[in-house]
Amino acid sequence: MPWLPVNKTGYKKTMKSEESAMLFSALIHDPKSALSYAYDENTLHLRLKTARGEVKEAKVLAVDPFNWIPRGDGTPIYDFDKSSVKHIAMVKEQVTANHDCWFAEIPDINWKRTKYCFVISNDTEKYQIGSRSRIPYSEEDEVLYNLSNYYNYPYINEEDLYKAPEWVTETVWYQIFPERFCNGTPGDERDVLPWGSDALDGYDKKFGGNLAGIIEKLDYIKDTGFTGIYLNPIFKSPSSHKYDTTDYYTIDPDFGDNETFGLLVEEAHKRGIKIMLDAVFNHCGFHHPFWQDVLKNGINSRYYDCFYILDPEKPYYTGELRNGQPQDCPKEELNYRTFAYAQTMPKWNTGNPIAREYLLDVAAYWINEYHIDAWRLDVSNEISHDFWRAFRKKIKTIDPEVYILGENWDNSYPWLQGDQFDGVMNYEFTAPVWNFFGTEEKGALKLHAKEFKEAISSLLTAYPKHVTNNLYNLLDSHDTERILHVVKGNQDIAKLAYIFLMTYPGTPCIYYGSEIGMGGGEHSNRQCMIWEEERQNKELYTLIRILIRLRKEKESFRTENFQWIEGNASADTIIYKKTTPTETLYVVLHKEETSELLSLPQELIGLVCLDPISASEVILGESIELLPYDFRLYTVKHG
């Protein structure tokens, strides 16, 4: 039942709960979370979620809890300075399936501390929402400024702030699976290999790519517009995928040598291209010397506790070795922890001092000796937070501008609070994009525009704004179907997906070959790059190249200030805008197989715009004609 304070410690009943129409059970706010976070040294961001469509207005009352001033009557008594309370209107940031998400920024918190509450209202009711109680709104000072019912952000400590390298948000990544990128000759037999298969290793070594080949293609990568390269593992390993590392300090001979890698970094940097390596620190390969020492010496090995042996009295691996490698076995027979249930990949115990020091030294080595710009952390969510905190301290001490990217497939806020990662691979972005633009993800529902907008709105409010700007957004990767496969080969729909990718906040990535129309399902996504121009989709490539250029040139393509525009469009047409202080970008994506005469929302009618793709001026009328799978981009300058 709602309660109203009669003094600073007591409460009295004012009304029965059934008299309130507000759905208080839908209210969501948590201090020190993605709903309450320090944006910088002097700024706090607050979010409040309310039942969808229920609240008409929301505001924040915020104050320094120590703002007491002398009464001025000659007595040594201090009164609370109610004039110092900030009243800040909240804006409706996003609308999800169940909630309206309200946002406010509290600036100029010079003394670093804040207490706050919310005031929400609709046509008939108004409530004060506090940390302990929600009460009918009152103008009485003892009620409105009762700080015992305020949420508390005790202090903005600078060492706790989330900070990522500034260059990340302006980077467009190109992911390269090195063994398939250069000098390859595609063959049908390669396109059906299961993940991790080495059945054609001999073929791979004859035709596969290498670092020298990547160096030869750096001009192509630069000319396309990419400013970052993410390389799948390149350290010494017996497999083609290289996720079973034997030697973390040595480039695999199939790709070249350390000197060649150093030249790759040097040449990439000359072209303004960053280099990100894959850190496989969850597990190593069966041939890693530490693991081999355990197999030889058992519990007497100094590396025994670097791994997780389940029963030292039993054989450590199951079955016979073939080419020095154990084969798959039932998971019930495994006697050590592994990546998935692969006997070839024993899991590191990163809590062990020897293993920890070794892996941290590896991470430091490639920064100190070869000046890499970023680490992508494989299977990062299965490694302890404690290790990643140590990892960050080590890396950022060497070079604070190194980007730390986790391979997390789910919501990852616990890793993104300033003490571990700078970003994660944003598969939470990939899933709704697939389910809207393409076929449904396995086990998921097909999304239409309404559900898609709700899903994206939920994602946009799942992280602090500056974290969203550093998430690594992707349509496909070496672990997924390619986007052209997802959209069943329809290049026009693929274009729409790429437009959404390149106008969404974060740091986007394109998987090698997807820019020229390479397809491939879950088990055929690592084909050799197609270099013959007559086999490339030049129309798709040209659009992607333009989009990358526009994203680099225009802040409106990159900004996190993203809002949907409602209209009377068909079920699969979406309109949104991206706003900066100097420019607004409007995007219309028509994912329909039929034409449509789209009546424009009022805010677009009569605007004098620039079509950034054609660089031509457009004056918008009351409607535009959209062909099947059509799109429009318009920019409007302010002032």
Active-site annotation, residues: 378, 407
β-strand pairing of 36-40 with 43-51: antiparallel
β-strand pairing of 403-406 with 374-377: parallel
Residue length of the chain: 639
Q: Is 12 strand, coil or helix?
A: strand
Distance of CA 26 to the CA centre of its chain: 26
Report the interhelical angle of 427-437 vs 449-460 (nearest 10°): 170
Distance of CA 382 to the CA centre of its chain: 17
Closest among 378, 234, 354 to 294, alpha carbons compared: 354
Q: Could you tell me which residues are beta bridge partners of residue 609?
A: 618
Q: Could you tell me if 476 and 514 are in contact, meaning their C-beta atoms sit under 8 angstroms apart?
A: yes
- Edge-to-edge strands, sheet with 616-619: 562-564, 573-579, 583-590, 631-637, 608-611, 616-619
- DSSP code at position 444: S
Closest among 448, 335, 463, 344 to 47, alpha carbons compared: 463
Beta-carbon count within 10 A of 113 CB: 17
- DSSP code at position 225: T
Q: How far apart are CA 142 and CA 161, in angstroms?
A: 34
Type and span of the H or E element at 266: helix 258-270
Q: Could you tell me if 582 and 639 are in contact, meaning their C-beta atoms sit under 8 angstroms apart?
A: yes
Exposure of 51 by Cβ count < 10 A (0-12 exposed, 13-18 middle, 19+ buried)? Answer: middle
